[in-house]
A = this chain, B = another copy of it.
Amino acid sequence: MIKDYLGADSSSLKGKRFAFLLVIATTDVSLIPGITIAGASPEMTHYTPAADAEFLLEGKCEVIKGIPVSPEGIPTPAIISRASLSLVNTTKLVVDAGAKIKPNVPFITLHGTHGRDIREGSLDVDVANRIIKNGIKLGEELSNSYELLVIGESVPAGTTTALSVLLALGYDALNKVSSASPRNPHELKNKIALEAVKGLEGKDLISKLAKVSDPMLIGVAGIVIGFKGKVLLAGGTQMVAAASIIKEIDKSRLSEVIIGTTRWIIEDKSADILGLAKQVGVSVSAAMLDFSSSKYEGLRMYEKGYVKEGVGAGGSAIMAMLNGYSSKDILRKVEEIYSSLISEKSIFSS
């Protein structure tokens, strides 16, 4: 089941010719201890986007052993995306907006760079401009092939850069972004973000983005601005930040955009995606996934607030559901993939 919020009409996406884009990036924010669980250790988080991309396309990873897991061993949501997209035979394109580690699969480069710590400044201004320009070009080219783009992301500590972008653009966002952890470290995120946005008032958009954004948010905004059709921004509160950038550059595009996420993000009491989305003026749909009946502990942990979203899991599930698959069908496919990973005994070895 899909639930629509804030005027979203997810049924309008049904039957549209679409591709799935996974936009990856890293920043040094993910090295700050305690800020993210998107990796077995802070150092491993730099490998997570590349590993997610490899897993999405190949069903296995090359840059790491096993697959990306949290310190507790909870598997990457890329499993949900791969499962859902395999049900509907989707073309999956990896887009590198600026990842430190590159995936060993074909990917499209936007000529970005890895982001630094946002307190010092994430990107050079010319790099931010280059990412957005190349994003626009890519979106334009894809307009001739697709009526809809489903755009997912993999950016460890990406909610902190998202928070910073939202603050820099004037939104009331403190304590409202989600986390892959059941214990959302708001205090730490707020502290980092508030320090990063200091002194940005009055600066132009690209200077603000270069200072505090991760490369993914800028790349996604560019793609959406260049693309002519509908867009499902497949992610949680990070995608609200992407929408806020789109709004600054071309407000008219927002009417064609829906944020597609998971029930776990909507129900996340430690965050407020709908409040944020309402401020920005973007609608939201959610795949009502339910893993509580799963035979696997690692998947049942999703019901306890772990992971929640990422790698376009929610949006991918929405596309599967629009094509008639239920949450149970998706869970069955996810379990099939998960069980083969466990039998390889490689899942916890990263």
Q: What are the residues of chain B within 8 A of A135 when measuring CB–CB?
A: 106
Size of A's binding interface in residues, CB under 8 A: 29
Which one of B19, B106, B134 lies within 8 Å of A138 (CB-CB)?
B106
Question: Contacting A107 at CB < 8 Å: which of B92, B108, B146?
Answer: B108
Query: Measured between alpha carbons, how far is A92 from B107 in the docked complex, in Å?
Result: 15
Confirm or deny: A336 has a beta carbon within 8 angstroms of a beta carbon on chain B: no
User: Are B91 and A141 neighbours in the complex by a CB distance under 8 Å?
Assistant: yes
Among A106, A130, A141, A146, max chain B CB count under 10 A is at A106
Q: Is A109 interfacial (CB 8 A cutoff)?
A: yes
This chain's copy number in the assembly:
2
Q: Which chain B positions have C-beta within 8 A of A90?
A: 144
In chain A between 93 and 144, which residues have their CB closer than 8 angstroms to a CB of chain B?
93, 95, 104-111, 130, 134-135, 137-138, 141-144
Which residues A75-103 have CB closer than 8 A to chain B? 89-93, 95
A57 within 8 A of B: yes
Q: Is A343 an interface residue (CB 8 A)?
A: no
Confirm or deny: A145 has a beta carbon within 8 angstroms of a beta carbon on chain B.
yes
Q: Which residue of B lies closest to A141 (CB)?
A: B91
How far apart are the CA atoms of A130 and B106 in the complex, in Å?
A: 10
A6 shortest CB reach to chain B, Å:
30
* Residues in B whose Cβ lies below 8 Å from that of A145: 17, 19, 91, 145-146
Check if A106 sits within 8 Å of B19, measured CB to CB: no
**Complex: A92 Cα to B135 Cα, angstroms:** 14
Complex partner residue of A106 from B105, B106, B109, CB under 8 angstroms: B109
Say yes or no: A91-B142 contact (C-beta < 8 A), given A107-B109, A109-B106. yes
A72: Cβ under 8 A from any B Cβ: no
B-chain residues with CB within 8 Å of residue A297 when the two chains form the complex? none
B92 touches A141 (CB 8 A): yes
Checking B92, B105, B109, B110 against A134 with a beta-carbon cut-off of 8 angstroms, the contacting residue is B105
| Interchain CA distance A202-B141 in the complex, whole Å | 44
CB distance from A92 to the nearest CB of B (A): 6
Once the chains bind, are B137 and A105 in contact (CB under 8 Å)?
A: yes
**Nearest-Cβ distance from residue A172 to partner chain B, whole angstroms:** 35
Residues of chain B with a CB closer than 8 A to A138's CB: 106
List the 6 closest A-B pairs by CB distance, nearest first: A91-B145, A106-B138, A91-B144, A106-B134, A89-B144, A108-B108
Binding site for B on A (CB under 8 A): 17, 19, 57-58, 89-93, 95, 104-111, 130, 134-135, 137-138, 141-146
